[in-house]
Amino acid sequence: MKSKRIEQTIYGVCLAILVFLMCTIGLRFFVRQVLVKHMGVSNSFTDLVFFDAQDLGAAADGASIDWEKLYPFSQELLAKGILQDEEPKKGKLDKIREPIQAGEEKIETYSSDLLIGYNALTDMAKRYENLIRWNYVSYSEYNGIVKQDDGYLTSLVAKKDVTEAAQSLTEFAKYCGEQGSAFCYIQAPYKISKYEDKDISGRTDFANQNADDLLEQLREAGVDTYDIRETIHDEGLSHHPLFYRTDHHWRGETGLWASKHILELLKEQYGYDIDASVLEPERFTSVDYPAWFLGSQGKKVRLEQTDPDDFSLLYPTYPTELHYTIPNLGIDAVGDFSVTYDMAQVEELDYYGKNPYGAYIYGDRPMETIENELLEDNGRLLVVHESFGNCVVPFLALGIKNVDSLDLRHFTGSVQEYIKQTEPDVVLVLYNPSVIPESIDWTTHGALFDFR
């Protein structure tokens, strides 16, 4: 009887703990999604609920903006060709599997982001794995983290049929041409090199093969492309050091290097009057933050299994004056190049609470504009990008009078209407291979390859 009471007590305590944790997750979900994100509330109550989260204010994303109202979709556009506002045809199994997978991902995300003490609990789990020497990661596990021989972390990408993505880009390039804007698709590199990582590339990882297929289809359709991977190879650069060891992004220094090549492309191929020498590396100084950055991949394996990256922010050594706006954050400022940096991401060492790479143009934002006040009008550029473009856009603005940028994961208005209103000379799409989809969700206006 005594042992049974002990078992019941232990069961009751465990159940109470689980109920408490679930209630706190529910409360935090409500506070973040409703009070902070939708209502913009940030006060002592929200701070108390998220006492262990230092970046809650960023979740509000400033003022709420109805992008679709500002840049509306026409009915003709919604019904045009492959750009139909309806779900792609799916088999019965897919219709069952996809909502289950989406639900699992949301539960996992909410449980990790909103669970009190998640970081401490995860660190304890990693210490236990180290103790029992459980460091195995399957190379067949897509979206898992793989440690390469030189210590660089990466993840693997499955083989995809990129036809729909190529068709969408081709339609978009055609539209840009009809509006008088030149178009070029720029292929950023993936962390795995098709030249140096032949033991992985094309065997267990297919990011580069997907990119090759996409570029081939675009070129066959007559779409301008520029492959940064080939420039890396042609210049004999070692691939892995171009990236952060614990993150999937390329380094800020690599972004500067790529930006100079893009400026040269714009000058030579699209007639911009540009002095590309403004992006020579010797014309920049850096502020260094040693062992300051634990990237997205490092956060998954934790500090128990990897070491943080050094991080740097680059500053021009010559005078600069930029008019910089981020509408959804309410930012409208004029200042030197540093105005494009979110210093809150580097002002204190916090491996799990801060994202130093997010210092570049304040992370992933729907729309940003930069006007170089010290340049004569030499054109307007639109860059459609994901996070790889964050450390490219501000450097491009040092050579071009007006640079606008859109991240279609967050910009839910019509990119075509935006082009019609702003009339850019050139439109660039800058994506890394991991974001190339097999199919495009046309229902949410939040897909990277939905260029309506």
Angle between helices 415-422 and 163-178 (to 10 degrees): 20
Shared domain for 164 and 55, answered yes or no, is no
383 lies in some domain:
yes
Burial profile 103-136: b = 16 or more Cβ within 10 angstroms, e = fewer: eeeeeeebeeebbbeebeebeeebeebeeeeeee
pLDDT of residue 58: 47
Give the pLDDT means over successive 10-residue stretches in the chain (452 positions): 74 74 71 61 60 51 79 81 47 56 55 58 52 50 80 96 98 98 98 96 97 98 98 98 98 98 98 96 98 96 94 98 97 98 97 96 98 97 98 98 98 97 98 97 93 96
pLDDT of residue 384: 98
Bridge partner residues of 146 (DSSP): 154
Q: Which of 20, 44, 60 is the last residue of a domain?
A: 60
How many beta carbons lie within 10 A of that of residue 359, not counting itself? Answer: 24
Q: Are 246 and 308 in contact (CB under 8 A)?
A: yes
Give the domain extent around 53.
Answer: 1-60
401 lies in some domain:
yes
pLDDT of residue 177: 98
77 lies in some domain:
no
pLDDT of residue 299: 95
Shared domain for 211 and 357, answered yes or no, is yes
Residue with the two structure tokens 């030149």: 182
For 430, phi and psi rounded to 5 degrees? -115, 105
Q: Output DSSP code: residue 327.
A: G
Bridge partner residues of 153 (DSSP): 147
Shared domain for 163 and 55, answered yes or no, is no
Q: Which of 60, 77, 108 is the last residue of a domain?
A: 60
CA distance 440 to 406: 18
Token pair of 316 as six digits: 């021009």
Angle between helices 207-220 and 163-178 (to 10 degrees): 40
Exposed/middle/buried for residue 78 (C-beta within 10 Å: 0-12, 13-18, 19+)? middle
Write the CB contacts of 26 (distance below 8 Å, at least 6 apart in sequence): none
Shared domain for 54 and 170, answered yes or no, is no
Please report which helix (H) or strand (E) contains residue 28, including its range.
helix 2-30
- 305-309's contacts with Cβ under 8 Å and 24+ in sequence apart are 305/126, 305/129, 305/130, 305/135, 305/147, 306/147, 306/151, 306/153, 306/245, 306/246, 307/245, 307/246, 308/246, 308/351, 309/244, 309/245, 309/246, 309/247
113 lies in some domain:
no
What is the rounded end-to-end Cα distance, in angstroms, of the chain?
Answer: 69
Shared domain for 56 and 190, answered yes or no, is no
> In the chain, how many domains are there?
2
69 lies in some domain:
no
- The 3-state DSSP class for residue 212 equals helix
Token pair of 313 as six digits: 């922010």
Shared domain for 396 and 272, answered yes or no, is yes
276 lies in some domain:
yes
CA distance 49 to 165: 42
CA distance 20 to 16: 6
- The 3-state DSSP class for residue 63 equals coil
132 lies in some domain:
no
- The 3-state DSSP class for residue 7 equals helix
pTM, two decimals, is 0.81
Residue with the two structure tokens 């049974």: 4
360 lies in some domain:
yes
